[in-house]
Every structure is written in C-alpha cells, then in structure tokens.
Amino acid sequence: MTLIMGIVNCTPDSFFDGGKYNAFEHALKLLDDGADILDIGGESTRPGFTPVSEEEELARVIPVIEMLAKEQNTKNFQISIDTMKANVALKAVKAGANIINDVSAQLLQTMVDTNSTAVISAPVPDVKAYLLERAQWLEEHGCKNIFIDPGIGFGKTQEENIACIANIDELCKTKYPVLLGVSRKSYIGKIKGLENSNRLIPSVICAVVAAQKGVKIVRVHDVLETKEALITLNMLS
C-alpha cells in the first residue's frame, strides 16, 4: 500500500498550520493516525516565504528529531528532514533522520555522503528530465534509495501543476519510485468551484488517485483521513 508521509511544521509561518501545533506532540499524533514517515521542516516554502538562518532552522528541527528518534525504539516509522540547507540535512541525519527531502534538488552530495534515502523535487516545469538527470547522478554516486517528486507548487503555473498530477502515472513508469505532495496547496483554491474549499477533500482525493496511478508515498497534512481513504481503496482494489 502507498506509504503516508505526515507533515510536521516546526515553523510559525506555515501556509497550513501556521505554527499552531507543538511539533513533537503533533508528530506523535500523526503516528497514531497512521503515518509511516514524519517529514520535519523548519523553514516554510510557501509562496512568498521568508528564509530563516541556518542557526534558526537547526534550533527548530534538531530537538524534535532527537525526541522522535527515541520513539523509534517502540514505533515503526522513518524520520525525514525537509530542508534546502546542506548543514541542516547533515546534522538532522546525525540526530536521527533517515531521509533527506530537498525541494531544490541541490543537496545531492549531502545525500550521498550521509547514505540517506533521497527525495528530490523539480522546481521547474520540465519535471521528468530534471528529476531523471539528478536521480541518475545520485545512483551513479552510490545512493541506493531515491524517490522523485514532481514538486507541485514550485516553479509551475496552475496548468502545469494540474498536468503534473493528472499525468503522474508517466513519472511512475520510470525506474524511480514517486513521492507526491499536493496536500492543502494553493492550486486547489484556484480551481473553479473550490475557491472557498478548506482543501481537505480535494487533497484526499488526489492522494487516492495518486495511489491508484502508482505513487509510492503521499506527503499529507491530514494523515488520518488519508489513511482511511487508502485502506478503503486497498479493500476495493
């Protein structure tokens, strides 16, 4: 079954939760809800985000990762660091992260050096070529676990975002497993008839369709609802 990556924002300016949760407690809830992976982020990447210093990002994410790493003694899950900074990725892995999730796809050497599972995104419209070039470089340099992500919402028009989701099966036909993150993103509110949506149902439907088309990991805010939807899909398939 498709794995669920739960989003844990250690930021006060996330587009969705806006820092309203205690990150560690929220992470534990997502595990109870059925998350297989927790994606820990200390810098918002929403449109118009304000970059934070390396020191601030480390202060936000490392304590959470260290606490979650201890939970791995009794719970079966993986920890992902969502960052675009090499030193943050490096220290996060040392603290217990198993996965480096880089939306810029620029931390390739760090992924190789740490022997981490790599998630690379495409912040450009030419998704397939961009991702395959970088994934092949990672593989040639010894990276064994590589996931590719079309990067919905990054460097793309509304039409390009929709096309990426609708045609995700084409990316799934490559040799690399696909991760898709569409949860609660602003493209949903730009769809006619969904301008006032809270984006929950559209997000879950996208996760279900993605699973049907071969996506291996869906990155979501709403773990419980997505888990129930995927269990139902699995039962009916």
Residues composing the chain: 237
Q: Chain-centre distance of CA 128, in angstroms?
A: 18
Hunting for tokens 């961009």 — which residue is that? Answer: 130
The catalytic residue among 91, 134, 185, 227 is 185
Is-catalytic flag, 219?
A: yes
The catalytic residue among 156, 184, 199, 219 is 219
Is-catalytic flag, 185?
A: yes
User: DSSP string spanning 45-85?
Assistant: -STTPPP--HHHHHHHHHHHHHHHHHHTTTS--EEEEE-S-
User: DSSP string spanning 82-105?
Assistant: E-S-HHHHHHHHHHT--EEEETTS
Point out the residues that are catalytic.
185, 219
